[in-house]
Chains A and B, each alone.
Chain A
Amino acid sequence: MRMLFLIALAASAVAEPFFVDEALRAGLKDVFVCGEERQKNYIVEMLGTGVAFLDFDNDGLLDIFAVTASKLDGFTPGADPVNRLYRNKGDRTFEDVSKKAGVARAGWGQGVCTGDIDNDGFVDIYVTYWGADVMYRNRGNGTFEDVTPPGMGSRWGTGCAFVDYDLDGKLDLMVANYVDFDLKNTPRPDGPRPCRWKDENVICGPQGLKPGLNRLWHNESTPGKVRFLDVSKTAGIETPGPRYGLSVTTLDYDSDGWADIYVAVDSQASLLYHNKRDGTFEETALESGVALSEDGREQAGMGTAAADYDGDGWPDLVKTNFIDDLPNLYHNDRDGSFSESTAQAGLSKYTQFLGWGVGFVDYDNDGWLDIFMVTGHVYPNLKTGEYRQRRLLYRNGADGKFSDVSAEAGAAVMEKNAGRGLAVGDYDNDGRPDLLISNMNERLSLLHNTLRAHKSVTLKLVGQKTNRSGIGAVARVRIGERTLTGEVRSGSTFMSQSDFRLQFGLGAASAADAVEVRWPGGRLEKVGALPAGQIITITEGKGVTANTPHTK
């Protein structure tokens, strides 16, 4: 009898949802707009917008920045939606400080990425636009100033990432550009010569429209003067020619200490810029096996993420794609090339989802990175197919295979939205990764992780000689026989920014046996054993400089 009771208890424990949408409780009620809700006529209304987890006031709590676009017919004066900055109050609620901080800007915002461009210890923000992008410098007093260099980003910027590609200690900036869009000469679904998809009139593009050109900006700032120089041509970023660029993920895929850049491209081959260590890049996606699908098809690449999902110490890649297609899981073969392992990994079950934001996230802290994907269609008024789609949580089975555990995760994951952006971060510092999602013409979703499975250790890496944000630094955490690897990066997922801090699930272990940090450029720093349940700051050249316990 007692045994049955215990089994019943265990069953109910398993059935307990472990992601709960706390957006409304947290005060995140604003709607983020991207074109009309029901009848979209142009491709600019399709992409949605990005979100960011960032600690702008250095209080140790993740704040939120959310981008909004607009509507083509505009709004009545004063009613334009604006980008929002929400300050984390420390009790799992947020307050809107956008106006006070000076970032409440209207316009057709798209993506966001963050990084400390002037190494002053305060994170700065870059927002891409259909129009002119904006660079905000964090003054360190809770406010930001617009320091956008003249001529920077007057295209259709989408994904972006800060990266110190030449190891001069200052963060440079990579921006993907989507379409050189001409609203006046693009057909509408309800107008003459509409574009067709599955026998229905739809938004035109990107095929048939003029692709954009990716940009690389070199940081040439001096104290008190923010300056970025467009080096796209000389650095080889323009060499592949115009592409429908969407998300930007930086990763050191060949482990040489120099940052490489992966760009997911819509309807064309995706791009991998290999850093030649002389200030230039060579595009090697085809040779490296990450340009196309497994059978050599161009895909509609949307979101990307990089991480070592199989524990071999090398970063792998995941990319989301259009509907009727599979995502790509590219396994790093450690020789400069990747093998597609989508089907073998169990990610070929669904083709009905159109993927956007994607992240490697160890939701159960078992030390194996799981995958979370945000989905949603681009055409809201299709007679067939679902515009709103559920999210996908794949659990890493520690054997190279993933299984769909979305239903177990709860209604918050199964909820259907036209999702786009995704940021991963632990906003309540409880040692469990949470998820922030932007949804088309809806409020944000804030998926709080309540799963008390295992403990983790959180590492905040602070550069000294290298960039202050620690972007490009790689941490290796040894637990017994296993070594977990994580890299600090800006941008990634889909036009969004995740927490810079690296979280390592320790599984059954109560401590990390050893930690090693490889700072950008390759300098190694060894740190001893670290206990579980801590947020530990490692400062370049100084070892552990702070630690704070996870909240209960």
Chain B
Amino acid sequence: MNALLLAFALVQTAPDCGKSFAAGLQEYQRKDLNKALIAFRTAVQCDPKLAQAYLAIADIYAELGNESEALAALLQALQIEPKNPLALRAASNLYLRNDEHRKALPLLETLATVTPQSAEVRADLAAIYATNGDHKSAETEFRRALELQADYFPALAGLGNLLMRAGDDATATPLLRKAVRLQPQAYEGHFLLGSALNRLSQFEEARTELELASKLGGENDPRVFYQLARAWGGLGKAPERKAALARFSELAKKQNDDEELKRKAAAWIDEARALLQEGDLENAAARLELAREVKPGDATLLFRLAGLNFDLQRYDAAREYVQAAISISPSTWLYHYLLGLVERSANRMTDAKASLETAAKLQSTEAPVFNALGEVLLEQGERQAAISAFEKAVKLAPDNATFRQNLESARSRR
């Protein structure tokens, strides 16, 4: 996802929209990612068909570590340009990283038709087929990848692993040896080779490879220690085997505990939802707080917590949560809108105005945002600006009596 921006130099769009896009590029080059995001969002507000702006948004979100927003932007880009290779590649990578193989598969299949000479795409496609149990297609694609690039490590390791699992150790082992020679620093290669050697009862060499795997980055991978235990067992070294199994158990337990915590967090969120429906805001907030401890980087969760604290009139807490959500996802208008409401309720009108203006910039079709902005502007004595905001609100939601009333009230005020 890096250095995508060069590709945007020749963006064709309406002059005003192009201005926002150019501003986004400038901010990006200045490394002010938040401002860049807002500018790119403004650009897609202006020209919803601007696929490159979505790609830029995705790029920045990926840099910020917010994969879900990055993916959302990529999917929007793909709606506009379904065969955009950058978007296909980046979106499939994100899916693969989250083990969402079935979602990655159609993207990679399309990408394979767009970039038929890419060994990387073929190997990724093969890996998905293998995961889905379609070993025949997996083998075909791995072999195609190797035809395109004979020394492509993922294809060598992938095909070796596939053949090893099918019991064809004799063919698998040379492929894995070649993979290890090509990338001696990649622990996965050593791990796979060690596993294959275990199956061939070549325990001494297996142990060497697996110890290398553990030193080269596999120190927290339980699989490495499981295989290492097997090698030690084959060598008749009971204490070493026991130690490796103990390490395996420790790492596997940690993995399981993490998974269990994630499941619990999902359950707490469910419970919070039910409590909310019963009107028990206090306990709902407590459940969400538990979930937040497990998922501290979940912007949606932070936003929910902010909303609950806002409803409970705990404005300091609400502000803290929503600001944390914004730091993760700076171009989500809803977060800025909520922050604006929080600040207004806390009587911090200048901050409220700034947040609501950002929300309005990011989402120009939400009437409540303009109405809230109008109310704050009126409080600050900016009557003309308030009237203008209320007018926008009424234009967007002509049937809303409150917005209308606010507009009339502002107009009649002296």
**Docked pose: A198 CA to B131 CA in angstroms:** 12
A-facing mask of B263-283, CB < 8 A → 1, else 0? 100110010000000000000
Contact present for B166 and A198 (CB under 8 Å): no
Contact present for A295 and B195 (CB under 8 Å): yes
A26 interface residue, CB < 8 Å from B? Answer: no
* Chain B residue contacts of A298, Cβ below 8 A: 252, 256
Contact present for A348 and B165 (CB under 8 Å): yes
* Chain A residue contacts of B256, Cβ below 8 A: 298
A548 interface residue, CB < 8 Å from B? Answer: no
A287 interface residue, CB < 8 Å from B? Answer: yes
* Chain B residue contacts of A286, Cβ below 8 A: 245, 248-249
Q: Which of A199, A295, A343, A352 contacts B166 (CB 8 A)?
A: A343
Contact present for B233 and A344 (CB under 8 Å): no
Q: Which of B132, B249, B263, B267 contacts A324 (CB 8 A)?
A: B132
Measured CB to CB, the nearest residue on chain A to B251 is: A296
* Chain A residue contacts of B242, Cβ below 8 A: 287
B254 interface residue, CB < 8 Å from A? Answer: no
Closest-CB distance, A381 to chain B (whole angstroms): 17
A208 interface residue, CB < 8 Å from B? Answer: yes
Question: Given A199-B103, A295-B226, A348–B248 Cβ distance below 8 Å?
Answer: no
* Chain A residue contacts of B102, Cβ below 8 A: 198-199
Contact present for B199 and A343 (CB under 8 Å): yes
Contact present for B167 and A295 (CB under 8 Å): no
Contact present for A346 and B223 (CB under 8 Å): no
* Chain A residue contacts of B267, Cβ below 8 A: 208
Contact present for A324 and B133 (CB under 8 Å): yes
A337 interface residue, CB < 8 Å from B? Answer: yes
B38 interface residue, CB < 8 Å from A? Answer: no
Q: Which of A289, A297, A323, A346 contacts B133 (CB 8 A)?
A: A323
Contact present for B167 and A343 (CB under 8 Å): yes
Contact present for A193 and B226 (CB under 8 Å): no
A207 interface residue, CB < 8 Å from B? Answer: yes
**Docked pose: A214 CA to B249 CA in angstroms:** 21
Q: Which of B135, B249, B263 contacts A208 (CB 8 A)?
A: B263
Chain B 227-279 residues near chain A, CB threshold 8 A: 227, 230, 233, 242, 245, 248-249, 252, 256, 263, 266-267, 270
Q: How large is the interface on A (under 10, 10 to 19, 20 to 34, 35 or more residues)?
A: 20 to 34
A-facing mask of B168-200, CB < 8 A → 1, else 0? 010000000000000000000000000100010
**Docked pose: A171 CA to B165 CA in angstroms:** 41
* Chain A residue contacts of B199, Cβ below 8 A: 294, 343-344
Chain A 314-345 residues near chain B, CB threshold 8 A: 323-324, 326, 337, 342-345
**Docked pose: A295 CA to B242 CA in angstroms:** 17
Chain A 36-62 residues near chain B, CB threshold 8 A: none
Contact present for A337 and B166 (CB under 8 Å): no
Contact present for B223 and A295 (CB under 8 Å): yes
Contact present for A343 and B222 (CB under 8 Å): no
Contact present for A348 and B166 (CB under 8 Å): yes
* Chain A residue contacts of B227, Cβ below 8 A: 295-296
Contact present for A207 and B133 (CB under 8 Å): no
Measured CB to CB, the nearest residue on chain B to A287 is: B245
B37 interface residue, CB < 8 Å from A? Answer: no
* Chain B residue contacts of A179, Cβ below 8 A: none
* Interface SS of chain B: helix
* Chain A residue contacts of B87, Cβ below 8 A: none
A530 interface residue, CB < 8 Å from B? Answer: no
B360 interface residue, CB < 8 Å from A? Answer: no
* Chain B residue contacts of A352, Cβ below 8 A: 133
A351 interface residue, CB < 8 Å from B? Answer: yes
**Docked pose: A344 CA to B131 CA in angstroms:** 20
A292 interface residue, CB < 8 Å from B? Answer: yes
A-facing mask of B342-384, CB < 8 A → 1, else 0? 0000000000000000000000000000000000000000000
* Chain B residue contacts of A297, Cβ below 8 A: 223
Q: Which of B164, B165, B223 contacts A296 (CB 8 A)?
A: B223
Contact present for A292 and B263 (CB under 8 Å): no
**Docked pose: A78 CA to B102 CA in angstroms:** 46
What total of A-B pairs shows CB separation below 8 Å?
57
**Docked pose: A529 CA to B107 CA in angstroms:** 68
Question: Given A296-B248, A296-B252, A343-B166, A207–B263 Cβ distance below 8 Å?
Answer: yes
Closest-CB distance, B175 to chain A (whole angstroms): 16
Q: How large is the interface on B (under 10, 10 to 19, 20 to 34, 35 or more residues)?
A: 20 to 34
* Chain A residue contacts of B166, Cβ below 8 A: 343, 348-349
* Chain B residue contacts of A351, Cβ below 8 A: 133, 135
Q: Which of A324, A337, A344 contacts B167 (CB 8 A)?
A: A344
* Chain A residue contacts of B252, Cβ below 8 A: 296, 298
Chain A 352-408 residues near chain B, CB threshold 8 A: 352
* Chain B residue contacts of A193, Cβ below 8 A: 266, 270
B-facing mask of A406-419, CB < 8 A → 1, else 0? 00000000000000
Measured CB to CB, the nearest residue on chain A to B246 is: A286
Chain B 278-319 residues near chain A, CB threshold 8 A: none
* Chain A residue contacts of B195, Cβ below 8 A: 294-295
* Chain A residue contacts of B230, Cβ below 8 A: 289
Q: Which of B131, B132, B167, B226 contacts A292 (CB 8 A)?
A: B226
Chain A 191-233 residues near chain B, CB threshold 8 A: 193, 198-199, 207-208
Closest-CB distance, A351 to chain B (whole angstroms): 4
Closest-CB distance, B51 to chain A (whole angstroms): 25
Closest-CB distance, B38 to chain A (whole angstroms): 33
* Chain B residue contacts of A292, Cβ below 8 A: 226
**Docked pose: A342 CA to B169 CA in angstroms:** 13
**Docked pose: A337 CA to B245 CA in angstroms:** 13
Contact present for A343 and B165 (CB under 8 Å): yes
Closest-CB distance, A283 to chain B (whole angstroms): 12
Closest-CB distance, A318 to chain B (whole angstroms): 16
Question: Given A199-B102, A199-B103, A346–B167 Cβ distance below 8 Å?
Answer: yes
**Docked pose: A324 CA to B135 CA in angstroms:** 11
**Docked pose: A207 CA to B227 CA in angstroms:** 26
**Docked pose: A346 CA to B167 CA in angstroms:** 7
* Chain B residue contacts of A346, Cβ below 8 A: 167
* Chain A residue contacts of B222, Cβ below 8 A: 296
Q: Which of B103, B132, B167, B169 has the most CB of A within 10 A?
A: B167
* Chain B residue contacts of A343, Cβ below 8 A: 164-167, 169, 199
Closest-CB distance, B209 to chain A (whole angstroms): 14
**Docked pose: A324 CA to B199 CA in angstroms:** 21
B-facing mask of A274-311, CB < 8 A → 1, else 0? 00000000000011010010111110000000000000
* Chain A residue contacts of B133, Cβ below 8 A: 323-324, 351-352
**Docked pose: A323 CA to B227 CA in angstroms:** 24
Measured CB to CB, the nearest residue on chain A to B103 is: A199
**Docked pose: A337 CA to B164 CA in angstroms:** 22
Measured CB to CB, the nearest residue on chain A to B241 is: A287
* Chain B residue contacts of A342, Cβ below 8 A: 167
Closest-CB distance, A449 to chain B (whole angstroms): 29
Closest-CB distance, A505 to chain B (whole angstroms): 26
**Docked pose: A295 CA to B245 CA in angstroms:** 13
Q: Which of A193, A289, A296 has the most CB of B within 10 A?
A: A296
* Chain B residue contacts of A207, Cβ below 8 A: 263
Closest-CB distance, A198 to chain B (whole angstroms): 6
Question: Given A286-B245, A295-B195, A296-B248, A348–B167 Cβ distance below 8 Å?
Answer: yes
* A→B interface (CB under 8 Å): 193, 198-199, 207-208, 286-287, 289, 292, 294-298, 323-324, 326, 337, 342-346, 348-349, 351-352
- 8 nearest CB pairs, A to B: A296-B226, A343-B167, A351-B133, A296-B223, A324-B133, A208-B263, A199-B102, A344-B167
20 A/B residue pairs, CB under 8 Å, sorted by A = A193-B266, A193-B270, A199-B103, A208-B267, A287-B245, A292-B226, A295-B227, A296-B226, A296-B227, A297-B223, A298-B256, A324-B133, A326-B165, A337-B233, A342-B167, A343-B166, A344-B167, A348-B165, A351-B133, A351-B135
Known: A323-B133, A343-B164; 15 extra A-B contacts, CB below 8 A, are A199-B103, A208-B263, A287-B242, A289-B233, A292-B226, A294-B195, A295-B195, A295-B223, A296-B222, A296-B252, A298-B256, A324-B131, A344-B169, A344-B199, A345-B167
